[in-house]
Amino acid sequence: MNERMYHADGALPPINQGWVFVFGSNLAGRHGAGAARLAAQHFGAQRGVGFGWTSESSFAIPVSTGQLETLSIEAIAVAVIGFIGDAQMNPKRKFWVSRVACEADGYADQEIAPLFQRAPRNCSFVSEWEHYL
């Protein structure tokens, strides 16, 4: 894979094709709204897991506390670095990255997308981030 992959915001990865759905979560792992809810409904995200692998096909990046207070950009960046490490260690897996920390969590695409610049080519990002990656 030489080029980055992109997908439409709100689109879900093809089922049964080995994609890992990467979503913004709260530290409590409640997965009650937005992409986190989709992760629980369609990709087996386990409640109570707010960071990392939440199932074989979902990966949580914490963007808020359990009290729904948004985390700092620095804290989100640390979590993104952890995700990038996992994506690099799993080169045969494909990661479908949702619009983590944007919209409901209050960050703009231009603040969050650059955090993923070092992500490996086995990651697909929302097309809104193409300009920043």
Specify the pairing of strand 58-64 against strand 52-55: antiparallel
Full domain range(s) for residue 105: 20-118
How many other CB atoms sit within 10 Å of the CB of residue 84? 18
Whether 31 is in a domain gets the answer: yes
Q: Is residue 10 a contact partner of residue 128, using CB atoms and an 8 Å limit?
A: no
Statement: residue 1 has pLDDT above 60: no
Convert the pLDDT of each residue in 86-113 to its tens digit: 999 999 999 999 999 987 768 999 999 9
CA 76 to chain centre: 11
Specify the pairing of strand 58-64 against strand 19-26: parallel
The alpha carbons of the chain give a radius of gyration, in whole angstroms, of: 13
DSSP secondary structure code for residue 124 in this structure: E
Of 2-6, 39-43, 74-78, give the lowest mean pLDDT range: 2-6
Assign residue 79 the CATH number of its domain: 3.40.220.10
Whether 50 is in a domain gets the answer: yes
Whether 12 is in a domain gets the answer: no
Statement: residue 3 has pLDDT above 80: yes
Whether 126 is in a domain gets the answer: no
Whether 131 is in a domain gets the answer: no
Whether 127 is in a domain gets the answer: no
DSSP secondary structure code for residue 70 in this structure: B
Exposed, middle or buried by CB within 10 Å (0-12, 13-18, 19+), for 90?
middle
Res 102: pLDDT: 86
Whether 65 is in a domain gets the answer: yes
pTM of this structure: 0.94
State the total domains in the chain: 1
Whether 59 is in a domain gets the answer: yes
Res 2: pLDDT: 52
Convert the pLDDT of each residue in 15-46 to its tens digit: 778 999 999 999 999 998 999 999 999 999 99
CA–CA distance, 120 with 48 (Å, rounded to integer) = 28
pLDDT band at 123 (very low <50, low <70, confident <90, very high): very high
